[in-house]
Chain A
Amino acid sequence: GAVVSQHPSWVICKSGTSVKIECRSLDFQATTMFWYRQFPKQSLMLMATSNEGSKATYEQGVEKDKFLINHASLTLSTLTVTSAHPEDSSFYICSAKHYREAYNEQFFGPGTRLTVL
């Protein structure tokens, strides 16, 4: 089955530092990856859509300069939270869409829990 991994699974950092989260499709190629954010006891909200080789598309209200997304290969997308602050503490989940449109599936990663002190 298709597997999506995220690294790290959890991270604690000091306010003002930057944190990079990786999302990898392990056994398939993904032209599109999605990044979601989930605050405690809330729903998942889409942050951005990441397409391999092009700039990410951010949802309204998401600061693109703060949440840097790079999708450099068909199996890897990264989300960097720059100058993180306590309000950025959240659960970040990615999903990867199989590159073959006929194989109409998306697969979610296990999530990364970010705590900013």
Chain B
Amino acid sequence: AQKVTQAQTEISVVEKEDVTLDCVYETRDTTYYLFWYKQPPSGELVFLIRRNSFDEQNEISGRYSWNFQKSTSSFNFTITASQVVDSAVYFCALSEAQNAGGTSYGKLTFGQGTILTVHP
């Protein structure tokens, strides 16, 4: 069975601080996909990143960066110089590959979510 654990239930920081959201996953699959989503108060999920298990390269996108460590089954998310607009619930998710080639993914298993509050 697949499992995603986000141990941090809530994080509170002051604007301009860096913050890292942790995500640890469990899966028996050798090919899988990892995701991060942002859910603002409106409820709509905002896609942030997708990474497949073949690609352990870390990624940076503006103030966002992701650290994928297969050896520790972790996929952590860092926001640099946080802003008030970053306040939201952040979900890490995992999906198994749906085909033999591992080029397609299916249903998502979500972590419990981390509530991030950035104070001015």
Contacts and interface: CB of A to CB of B under 8 A. Distances in A.
Interface string B86-120: 00000100000001000111111111110000000
Contact of A111 (B37, B44, B111): B44
Contact of B43 (A32, A91, A95): A91
A91 B110 CA distance: 15
Contacts of B106: 32, 49, 97
Contacts of B42: 110
B43 A46 contact: no
Interface string A19-32: 00000000000001
A46 B109 contact: yes
Given A108-B45, A111-B44, A46 B104 contact: no
Contacts of A91: 43
Interface string B37-81: 100001111010000000000000000000000000000000000
Contacts, number: 46
Nearest to B43: A111
B110 A108 contact: no
A36 B93 CA distance: 13
Interface in A81-117: 91, 93, 95, 97, 101-102, 104, 106, 108, 110-111, 113
Interface size class of B (residues with CB under 8 A): 10 to 19
A34 B108 contact: yes
B40 to A, nearest CB: 11
A110 B105 contact: no
Contacts of B109: 46
Q: Which of A44, A97, A101 has the most CB of B within 10 A?
A: A44
Given A91-B43, A93-B45, A111-B44, A44 B110 contact: yes
22 contacts: A32-B106, A42-B113, A43-B111, A43-B112, A44-B45, A44-B110, A45-B110, A46-B107, A46-B109, A93-B43, A93-B45, A101-B99, A101-B103, A101-B104, A104-B103, A104-B104, A106-B105, A108-B44, A108-B45, A108-B47, A110-B44, A111-B44
Interface of B: 37, 42-45, 47, 91, 99, 103-113
